Structure 1
């Protein structure tokens, strides 16, 4: 015999019930069936709501009763031909009248007991089972309806009755033998006590009904039909890449169910487990899908079978010096909670015995404090024990898998993955079976935690990186082009899925968790909402996505000012913007500290030399124990371009304009020509070399007349035209000495300076063309012959490629 159970969504409409009938018809070709059904989806809640409103003297319960009646009458009319409807409609009407009578009684009494609630909610299953039984018979499938209250005997614990299996099993066996029916339809969830008063089996009661029947008749299998194609590796509402688990052990299924997997409930498994009856989870709306089979032994070779979670958790901590070495504290704590009907979800205790911590449903935390503080009143008053401490807004995330016991390092991978994403673990628990590792995290982090762990243990093909990019100017556009061009390469070769979630410029901002289409980003951004930096940052923090990277492709000081708030939320920062790294030393050190403390990369390679590996090479020297004594550098691609192209034959202003048009300058070229940009760069290199230095300590030998520093950018160009003789004289003097003009940054003996210099042909900086940059590092290891990094140091394309490289470094943290 086979037992089929169909849930509320499978019974939710006439169309769904027809699918149920098709499945039943196909199964009947092979063996006889027990068919267990839940109430139509939402009906149980409606019935409870009716009772609550009636008890509160709210006559609107009558409107809800009409909804229930109309819904079931409509289902009958859609399923059964008109000429055969009358008897079924009469039965539905009879049940609805009884519901109304009960609610009217509750209304008159202004009170509803647990016994009355059980009676009230039982009608959901009575209605649905009556309707499908009639529909099957009128479809030519002979079915016999049997009231579950006559088969399943329980105690009088209304709302969650305990089954008397000895009596129940015998009643089921006797009925099956006497009925000799091919198909028996039974309402789930409901049962009866010794006095034949209606009881219910608690949460997941219809599943439990099916399991009880399956165990009693030694069924060949139990099939639970729902609206998903089996148990999944994680909640698909949270994890887009969640996968169906084809096979799972009873023990694993119980662990996952206990920790929030709603497909099946723990009590359901007990009866079939004892009889080793395979239990299938199948999809009514995709009947050909394989589903999940729960068996005595799982065939899965995966180390981790699934990831689940429990929300709305509170941690209760009892601690005090008076607990050390004194037996009985734990038992008194658990006894106090048990007597108050408070279930303990998780337990952890330090070896010092100074404290014990348990997790309970957050809704019961207040009651727990009352009973525990009362139980330890003497110890609290005598300062031996502290009053019970409560921490709320927590969740549990759990890894489940039978194979964990055979592999070392699983907990290390779990905690490391969570730590890399800034998810703090408040408590840890692991059973001696090594089948479950549980971690308590902030409720705000649980979705992120589940995604992080799923990626770590299941998504071996790729890792998703979520980018939030600010700045869509020359460099920003090139970066987006490069990301678009390399998407397939990154997925195939580096197993990275780069997801551009946020995009903003000075005018508009756009956020889409599903990813912004890089083929249409300009149109999408143009039609997006008004830009608001703080709102953009708060949206990033609130979303709390795993592997998040904030990318600043601007020169904006306000944007540099938000780095700290992002780093302390474990969001990596990649900055083309030099403002932060060249700001006050205290701010620079703060950002570095936050990056280290919260395991969030703060990368700014393009601050010096665009795409050249200057900062990275310097960091490698320092990390390997070398020490920098001296640096000489040409760090402005703009100035190098200008002085390589200016020979007095055309105006200096024209050469500068060409540099700006070709994308080598800052938006305001004076930042480059004044030397301020170069000062920032040598300051950043000095700091990265371990020197504590402020901007004011760097000397600057500038060449721009004061008149060029006044007014707007347009005024700047006009002033340069008027000062052409000044620039020509600078050039002529260097030319007369057979030298080239180079704006040089230098560091030696803890001091730094920048300025225009005459470079002779034999100097290392002489042969530097176009927009190239060069840095010479003199260190303990490179004393006579410096380490040289040289190449293109300006331009949107190479700068974007440097930002891209930093993004990849952050992604692979």
Structure 2
């Protein structure tokens, strides 16, 4: 069985109906279902007429006269005089009922959804009956069947929900019992379980055809319209748009959802599970192949299959400080809209939780704003949340394609194109399927946006980065998680395809040439081969991937010694391991030279200040010709955390233990507390400033007892801290008595560096440094008196991982 649906333009007038007859007559199928829409423009006319009647405006009668005239005229043109009588009689009877319904609407001054469904159903009921009679006159073996007798729904008027069990049973029973080859049915209309007329929503004729096709396991569902298939963009707005010959169900759903009017979005659902093909054909060019919609079509590797849009959109923005960290805000927001039967087209929320933005139909905007303001009246009155912000007259544009999820940079290209063409983007969203990217723009910019995007798309140029990660402890695990979370962003916004090809810890290592699935990296690593640093390097070298990056998240001196081997093979190095850059000056210099020689970046931003842009800022100062005169800094997040937390009500031992457990210290906390870690950091800054120093050149004024410094295990170290608790308490008391705070300070001036614990008086830049934050003061020729200050979180796995991530992005942008 074949199911054909003809839209309003296809049956707009007798001339077009003759074209429909020719298409149907050319079929050789034993059974054909033909679903037709109302005559073109009739549904809108019925709605307008009923609205006028409900407002007790007598001009509704003119609308009724026009409705009657169009149908009677069609009958007289399509049928000879001798065949018109019975058809005219039936149509006039139906028009009389319609007149009664409109008169009732006028008298009560109200148009209920139930009454509206009854009125608008006459468009399809009349057109399908007239067309079926025309087919019969033309010699086709056709009969009329009222879809309300087959499609059963709930009582949700305006857009009823189909009871598929009952509907399928009725369809199967009917079509198995008939002898006529062609059945003509009205689209859009249905009936409730109680027998009341219902409708399937605007565009519901497509849905009617799909329901029947699915119930009958049809060979194909053909949607006949006035264009030759689904286009790369709206051909009425984009002259260069081309027909897409073959797409998947999912792509078609996305395109239809975002305004491709040749297909009503719910149409695909009934046929999807049955894998029934859908053909989009042109009534006025029937030989054109149009578009075929089937399962899993890869589009010949093309990424963006279409650019679509949906207009008359409003943005509702709910924002305010009272939303941050408060559970249930989103629930209340969406629940309010749901209770008002308001459909949400687009959702976007800031990661800060400070705002939620949704796109809805313009017609619903005022009602939605009133309802949401009522729901959050208390929060609004207490200034926790702002009154809802409504922006109208907007349009959503969307890029759609199944293959978008496996390509990178599309969002960046999309937004760049729009920006260059001065199209402002109000909101952005992307489905979890990664099958569409949507942006909200002003409706006045639609044509410009569609045309500029159409010129840009259907090819892409992305850069692939292949990462080999050694060390997946606290920092490494966070780093992998951040890559996983940001993978889509990197692809869409930065044109970077970041893959983790190899990972290793101290026990095992694993590789996957196609990229390790980061959601499963732990299990992949657990099943890997025994770890071997040399074997790891040899594997990276043998794979010989372009844009390879070795990422060192360890604190191992042996791993640091291998950097030169990677750089010599044009493999970039990103590291949070400070050993290489603070080791012998000649080795540090060699690594820098190798990076230049082999065009392989060597980046170590996290060596100082974790994720803070300290080294990067210093590099820019030097590159621009500035000269460093002095550096003063609190560079140990762990020590700053310790001395900010330590007081006379808590032991020094407990504070240090807490710092270790929260990842603020190195695995061996003596590296931090002895000052060695700070020495390394100020040494790196001195070297990056252009000075030739080694670690031995730095003066270290330690606050730890000698016994603590000489311990050979973490357990022994922590025991020693307990022993000298009174000494630590004295340090705290002396500082407190002087209205000062203890800070471990590093300083570089006149070619000399030193580190040590200092009492910082109130008013100093270091005094209010909280938590594990770092601060660096750069006194340079350009900043001689008021230093350039960089301040922020300087320790912790998350921020260190983000610093490594930032270095990866820098490499991607080289």
TM normalised by structure 1 equals 0.55
Aligned equivalents of 2:443, 2:15: Cα separation in 1: 38
Aligned equivalents of 2:22, 2:34: Cα separation in 1: 13
Map of 2:407 onto structure 1: 407
- Helix, strand or coil for the counterpart of 2:394? strand
- Helix, strand or coil for the counterpart of 2:422? coil
Aligned equivalents of 1:114, 1:329: Cα separation in 2: 31
- Helix, strand or coil for the counterpart of 2:261? coil
Q: Deviations over 1:281-327 (max 9, x none)?
A: 11111100011111112252221110011222222222222222222
Q: Deviations over 1:382-406 (max 9, x none)?
A: 2322222223332221100111112
5+ residue gaps, structure 1:
461-623, 627-813
Using the TM superposition, give the Cα deviation of residue 118 of structure 1 relative to its aligned residue in structure 2, in angstroms.
1.3
Aligned equivalents of 1:150, 1:406: Cα separation in 2: 46
Q: Deviations over 1:250-294 (max 9, x none)?
A: 111111111111111111111011211101111111100011111
Aligned pairs for 1:424-443 within 5 A: 424-443=424-443
- Helix, strand or coil for the counterpart of 1:248? strand
Map of 1:331 onto structure 2: 331
Q: Deviations over 1:421-444 (max 9, x none)?
A: 122222211122211011122222
Aligned equivalents of 1:66, 1:442: Cα separation in 2: 39
Aligned equivalents of 1:71, 1:317: Cα separation in 2: 45
Map of 1:380 onto structure 2: 380
Map of 1:54 onto structure 2: 53
Map of 1:778 onto structure 2: none
Using the TM superposition, give the Cα deviation of residue 340 of structure 1 relative to its aligned residue in structure 2, in angstroms.
1.9
Map of 1:343 onto structure 2: 343
Map of 2:360 onto structure 1: 360
Using the TM superposition, give the Cα deviation of residue 457 of structure 1 relative to its aligned residue in structure 2, in angstroms.
0.9
- Helix, strand or coil for the counterpart of 1:97? helix
Map of 2:641 onto structure 1: none
Aligned equivalents of 2:48, 2:379: Cα separation in 1: 44
- Helix, strand or coil for the counterpart of 1:327? coil
Say whether the 8 Å CA contact 1:321–1:385 is kept in structure 2: yes
Q: Deviations over 1:707-755 (max 9, x none)?
A: xxxxxxxxxxxxxxxxxxxxxxxxxxxxxxxxxxxxxxxxxxxxxxxxx
Using the TM superposition, give the Cα deviation of residue 63 of structure 1 relative to its aligned residue in structure 2, in angstroms.
2.6
Q: Deviations over 1:47-91 (max 9, x none)?
A: 222222222333333232222222222212222222222111211
Using the TM superposition, give the Cα deviation of residue 354 of structure 1 relative to its aligned residue in structure 2, in angstroms.
1.9
Aligned equivalents of 1:323, 1:368: Cα separation in 2: 19
Aligned pairs for 1:518-537 within 5 A: none
Aligned pairs for 1:657-696 within 5 A: none
Aligned equivalents of 1:446, 1:76: Cα separation in 2: 41
Using the TM superposition, give the Cα deviation of residue 26 of structure 1 relative to its aligned residue in structure 2, in angstroms.
0.9
Map of 1:114 onto structure 2: 113
Aligned equivalents of 1:149, 1:129: Cα separation in 2: 13
Taking a change above 3 Å as real, the CA distance of residues 357 and 107 of structure 1, as seen in their structure-2 partners, is closer
Taking a change above 3 Å as real, the CA distance of residues 110 and 364 of structure 1, as seen in their structure-2 partners, is closer
Map of 1:192 onto structure 2: 191
Map of 1:10 onto structure 2: 10
Map of 1:241 onto structure 2: 240
TM normalised by structure 2 equals 0.55
Map of 1:168 onto structure 2: 167
Say whether the 8 Å CA contact 2:303–2:458 is kept in structure 1: no
Map of 1:268 onto structure 2: 267
Using the TM superposition, give the Cα deviation of residue 209 of structure 1 relative to its aligned residue in structure 2, in angstroms.
0.6
Which shifted more, 110-119 or 234-243?
110-119
Aligned equivalents of 1:343, 1:47: Cα separation in 2: 24
Say whether the 8 Å CA contact 1:35–1:183 is kept in structure 2: yes
2:77 pairs with 1:78: yes
Map of 1:370 onto structure 2: 370
Equivalenced residues, count? 462
Taking a change above 3 Å as real, the CA distance of residues 166 and 313 of structure 1, as seen in their structure-2 partners, is same
Map of 2:473 onto structure 1: none
Say whether the 8 Å CA contact 1:229–1:282 is kept in structure 2: yes
Aligned equivalents of 2:412, 2:179: Cα separation in 1: 57
Map of 1:309 onto structure 2: 309
Q: Deviations over 1:768-799 (max 9, x none)?
A: xxxxxxxxxxxxxxxxxxxxxxxxxxxxxxxx
Map of 1:286 onto structure 2: 285
Map of 2:417 onto structure 1: 417
Taking a change above 3 Å as real, the CA distance of residues 388 and 229 of structure 1, as seen in their structure-2 partners, is same
Using the TM superposition, give the Cα deviation of residue 416 of structure 1 relative to its aligned residue in structure 2, in angstroms.
1.3
Taking a change above 3 Å as real, the CA distance of residues 389 and 401 of structure 1, as seen in their structure-2 partners, is same
Aligned pairs for 1:540-689 within 5 A: none
Aligned equivalents of 1:403, 1:187: Cα separation in 2: 37
Aligned pairs for 1:734-773 within 5 A: none
Map of 2:218 onto structure 1: 219
Map of 2:87 onto structure 1: 88
- Helix, strand or coil for the counterpart of 2:230? coil
- Helix, strand or coil for the counterpart of 2:26? helix
Using the TM superposition, give the Cα deviation of residue 163 of structure 1 relative to its aligned residue in structure 2, in angstroms.
0.8
Map of 1:38 onto structure 2: 37
Using the TM superposition, give the Cα deviation of residue 152 of structure 1 relative to its aligned residue in structure 2, in angstroms.
0.6
Map of 1:445 onto structure 2: 445
Say whether the 8 Å CA contact 1:145–1:185 is kept in structure 2: yes
User: Deviation above 4 Å: which 4+ runs of structure 1?
Assistant: none
Using the TM superposition, give the Cα deviation of residue 149 of structure 1 relative to its aligned residue in structure 2, in angstroms.
0.9
Taking a change above 3 Å as real, the CA distance of residues 67 and 376 of structure 1, as seen in their structure-2 partners, is closer
Using the TM superposition, give the Cα deviation of residue 23 of structure 1 relative to its aligned residue in structure 2, in angstroms.
0.6
Using the TM superposition, give the Cα deviation of residue 160 of structure 1 relative to its aligned residue in structure 2, in angstroms.
1.2
Map of 1:719 onto structure 2: none
Using the TM superposition, give the Cα deviation of residue 14 of structure 1 relative to its aligned residue in structure 2, in angstroms.
1.0
Taking a change above 3 Å as real, the CA distance of residues 393 and 12 of structure 1, as seen in their structure-2 partners, is closer
Say whether the 8 Å CA contact 1:34–1:183 is kept in structure 2: yes
Map of 1:598 onto structure 2: none
Using the TM superposition, give the Cα deviation of residue 211 of structure 1 relative to its aligned residue in structure 2, in angstroms.
0.5
Using the TM superposition, give the Cα deviation of residue 161 of structure 1 relative to its aligned residue in structure 2, in angstroms.
1.2
- Helix, strand or coil for the counterpart of 1:59? coil
Map of 2:397 onto structure 1: 397
2:140 pairs with 1:180: no
Aligned equivalents of 1:268, 1:371: Cα separation in 2: 31
Using the TM superposition, give the Cα deviation of residue 38 of structure 1 relative to its aligned residue in structure 2, in angstroms.
0.7
Say whether the 8 Å CA contact 1:255–1:436 is kept in structure 2: yes
Map of 2:483 onto structure 1: none
Aligned equivalents of 2:415, 2:44: Cα separation in 1: 39
Map of 1:512 onto structure 2: none
Aligned equivalents of 1:447, 1:416: Cα separation in 2: 17
Taking a change above 3 Å as real, the CA distance of residues 378 and 57 of structure 1, as seen in their structure-2 partners, is closer
Say what the alpha-carbon RMSD is for the aligned residues.
2.0
Aligned equivalents of 2:328, 2:281: Cα separation in 1: 47
- Helix, strand or coil for the counterpart of 2:293? strand
Aligned equivalents of 1:398, 1:25: Cα separation in 2: 39
Aligned equivalents of 1:392, 1:53: Cα separation in 2: 26
- Helix, strand or coil for the counterpart of 1:96? helix
Taking a change above 3 Å as real, the CA distance of residues 334 and 126 of structure 1, as seen in their structure-2 partners, is same
Map of 1:584 onto structure 2: none
Say whether the 8 Å CA contact 1:230–1:246 is kept in structure 2: yes
Taking a change above 3 Å as real, the CA distance of residues 379 and 230 of structure 1, as seen in their structure-2 partners, is same
Aligned equivalents of 1:334, 1:310: Cα separation in 2: 21
Say whether the 8 Å CA contact 2:298–2:402 is kept in structure 1: no
Aligned equivalents of 1:71, 1:312: Cα separation in 2: 30
Say whether the 8 Å CA contact 1:247–1:299 is kept in structure 2: no
Q: Deviations over 1:160-186 (max 9, x none)?
A: 111111100001101111113311111
Using the TM superposition, give the Cα deviation of residue 458 of structure 1 relative to its aligned residue in structure 2, in angstroms.
4.8
Taking a change above 3 Å as real, the CA distance of residues 31 and 345 of structure 1, as seen in their structure-2 partners, is same
Aligned equivalents of 1:321, 1:64: Cα separation in 2: 52
Say whether the 8 Å CA contact 2:298–2:403 is kept in structure 1: no
Using the TM superposition, give the Cα deviation of residue 215 of structure 1 relative to its aligned residue in structure 2, in angstroms.
0.4
5+ residue gaps, structure 2:
461-622, 626-814
